[in-house]
Every structure is written in structure tokens, then in C-alpha cells.
Amino acid sequence: MIFTVAIDGPAAAGKGTIGRAVAARFGFAHLDTGLLYRAVGAKGGDPVAAAEGLATADLERDGLRTLAAGQAASRVAAIPQVRAALVEFQRRFARREGGAVLDGRDIGTVICPEAEVKLYVTASAEVRAHRRWLEVGGDESAVLAEVHERDARDMGRADAPLRAAEGAVVLDTSAMGIEEAVGRAIAVVLERMEGR
């Protein structure tokens, strides 16, 4: 069975948590595409060469989850040749046998517009910054500034800017716990499966 769940949305909206839970529920493979951009940003040197030569080991290096790695990822992600180098791998993953969940910024808009399910997971910047701050600590207002900066870059870039794909179900998790958000996402997938 080929079945793709495309999950897009801004930083710290809950895409990863929802993506992992949906994949586990349906036995689908899961790809956190932000990790690809984080790995390219962390490699240093020429980002286009880094993207073209990206290997599995690059995705396993330490420190990819830090705020600094997120900012570096967001910067290299604005380079069209970097994005182009990562397209084929993501498309193959999306259409693999057995089902796939991909979360990122352009999955429903560019990578897999034909996905069976498209979700746009969002939350207010304040709520997202608070969640991120609980994970990383430090100064909460600095985390909020970081969220605003990354939103502006990811939504404002010319190539594959972050936006809800056509036909995407919008899930605003500002006032939702994890269980509720995951439950809603699973309900959308089940509904789509039953309608096939």
C-alpha cells in the first residue's frame, strides 16, 4: 500500500510528536525532514555540496536538536540548490511501500502534493516558544525571538515557503494537549482511509 501523510507547520508546533505517533499507530515509516536541513547546516563548508553528499551518518551526529542548529538549518534551507538536492530522497520515502509520514515545511506543497493526507499543524508563537523553552531552558524571551526569526525566514523565502498546502486540514494545537492533537490527526487519517 502506498499512503503518504504530509505534515507541515512552523517550528515547535508539534509536527514531530504527531508524526511519530501517527506512524506508530499505522505502522508507517516516519521521516523528520527538518533533520536533513539540520544535518546540512551542521556539516559546515559549502551547503550545496553538503546536501548533495548527505549520508545517514550525518543525520546521527550530536547537537542537531539545538536552537543554533535550527537556525543554521533554516538558513541553508533558503538555498534553492540545497532544497533541490534533497527532493528525490524525500519523494522516494513518501511513496515507499507500506506507508510513510513526513513532517517538515514543504511536504504537502512541494515534495508530495498528491499525499493522501495533508495536515498543517500550527500554534501561536508564544505557545510554541514556551514548549521549546521547556525543552532547552535559558531565557524564554530569547526563545520567542528565535521562533519569530525562524518563522519569518521559513515563511518569507522565495523557494518553497512554509504555508498550508491546498486541501490541508489545519490543526491548531495552541490549546490542545499531545493526546488530543494526536487523536485528531489519527481521526483524519482513518477518515481518509475509509473513503478510499
Q: Is 37 in the site for ligand DC (CB under 6 A)?
A: yes
Rounded to the nearest whole angstrom, what is the least distance from the CB of residue 74 to ligand DC in the complex? 3
Bridge partners of 118? 6
Residues near ligand DC (CB under 6 A), total: 15
Q: Is 70 in the site for ligand DC (CB under 6 A)?
A: yes
Which stretch of DSSP H or E encloses residue 1?
none
Sketch the per residue contact string, 155 through 194, with ligand DC: x for CB under 6 A, - otherwise.
----------------------------------------
**Range 145-149, long-range pairs (CB < 8 A, 24+ positions):** 146/67, 146/70, 146/71, 147/10, 147/11, 147/12, 149/71
Q: Is 47 in the site for ligand DC (CB under 6 A)?
A: no
> Of 7, 13, 22, 33, which one interacts with ligand DC (CB under 6 A)?
33
Residues 6 or more apart whose CB falls under 8 angstroms from that of 170 comprise 119, 120, 122, 164
Q: How big, in percent rounded to 5, are the helix, strand and coil portions of the chain?
A: 55, 10, 30
Q: Is 147 in the site for ligand DC (CB under 6 A)?
A: no
Q: How far does CA 59 lie from the centroid of its chain? A: 15
> In this structure, what C-alpha cell is assigned to residue 6?
504530509
Helix (H, G, I), strand (E, B) or coil at 31: strand
Rounded to the nearest whole angstrom, what is the least distance from the CB of residue 116 to ligand DC in the complex? 18
Which of the ranges 43-51, 101-109, 120-128, 187-195 carries the binding residues for ligand DC, by CB under 6 A? 101-109
Q: Is 99 in the site for ligand DC (CB under 6 A)?
A: no
For ligand DC, the binding residues (CB under 6 A) are: 11, 33-34, 37-38, 70, 73-74, 77, 104-107, 150, 154
